[in-house]
Amino acid sequence: MLLFNLLLESLDAAGYRVATNSKDGGPACVSILNLDVSFKVRERSKREIVPLTPEQRDVNAKKGYDFFREDYRYHPTNEFDISAVEPHGTHELAKIGDSRTTRVEAKVADFVIRLRELAIRRQVQVELNAERRVLAEARAEEERRRAEVRRVALERLKGVEELAMRLDRANRLRSLANIFENNCLSSKDGVVDAAWIRRAADWLDP
């Protein structure tokens, strides 16, 4: 666990808050620029093929198929991989492991840099998403404003069209009144004459 302890010390030295979940024995967590990260430690194992015994091969040959199959045996290597994940998550954000070719200190320093870059990218993405939400809300508000303007304009247009229809009817009635007057016309009961039609036109006139 030397690698893990060195990682925690490096994170703490870099100024990031490291906390251990001592209550329930959970993994250590670190906060890097508002990105909370925990760690999973896994020991690498070496796989060894367990060959079939002569007796098992004979059984397979007699049966004509693989009644017995090769098995595998796993051995601890005392080499570890450390994965950075979000708390209570499983998605691997970054990984570091023991290596015989690279100094552990260099790998840990590179790992800390990668975590910081990841935190910066996450923070930038959060800010971009917030800006997109603001822009989307502004566009939605503008659409609502335009829709209200259209609604009011249509209501006014409807009123103007009704006035135009009434004016057209009034003008036609006045033309009819002139015909009644010029030809001395009236209804059979004498109620509807040129004067009556003009009063009706005045009533319709907006």
**Which long-range contacts does 105-114 make (Cβ < 8 Å, 24+ apart)?**
105/6, 108/3, 108/6, 108/7, 108/10, 109/10, 111/7, 111/82, 111/84, 112/7, 112/10, 112/11, 112/14
Give the per-residue pLDDT at 77. 74
Give the per-residue pLDDT at 89. 76
pLDDT > 90? residue 147: yes
Domain boundaries, the chain: 2-98
pLDDT tens-digit readout, 104-136? 788 888 888 888 898 899 899 999 999 999 999
pLDDT tens-digit readout, 91-101? 888 888 766 66
